[in-house]
């Protein structure tokens, strides 16, 4: 979980850094706003993709763990039934 927070923080820092760099560049305001909008969209898409990948992996692991718990519960139930007979 800590590495996820670090990566997310680094991405947010990069986005802020690029936007500050664009803001202090000597161009017209309209051009600057278009650049910020474009870069923000690109970074948003990148972060969204990474988060979706992270959550897909997390969902898969939770599903695998759930399946394993179900198997163990069935095994325990069978063993308990054997002991009661």
**Coil, strand or helix: which one is 16?**
helix
CA dist 83 and 52 (Å) reads 46
Residues 6 or more apart from 23 whose CB is under 8 A from it? 32, 36
Q: Are 53 and 61 in contact (CB under 8 A)?
A: no
**pLDDT band of 1, cuts 50, 70, 90:** low
Backbone angles phi, psi at 28, to 5 degrees: -65, 150
Chain segment 13-62, per-residue pLDDT in tens = 887 887 777 777 777 778 777 887 888 888 888 888 888 888 888 899 99
Dihedral sign of CA atoms 32, 35, 39, 44 in order:
positive
């Amino acid at each position: 979980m800590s590495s996820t927070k670090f990566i997310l923080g680094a991405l947010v820092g990069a986005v802020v850094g690029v936007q500050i760099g664009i803001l202090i560049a000597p161009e017209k305001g309209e051009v600057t706003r278009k650049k910020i909008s474009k870069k923000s969209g690109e970074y948003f898409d990148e972060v969204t993709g990474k988060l979706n990948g992270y959550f897909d992996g997390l969902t898969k692991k939770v599903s695998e763990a759930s399946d394993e718990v179900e198997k163990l519960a069935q095994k325990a139930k069978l063993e308990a039934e054997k002991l009661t007979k």
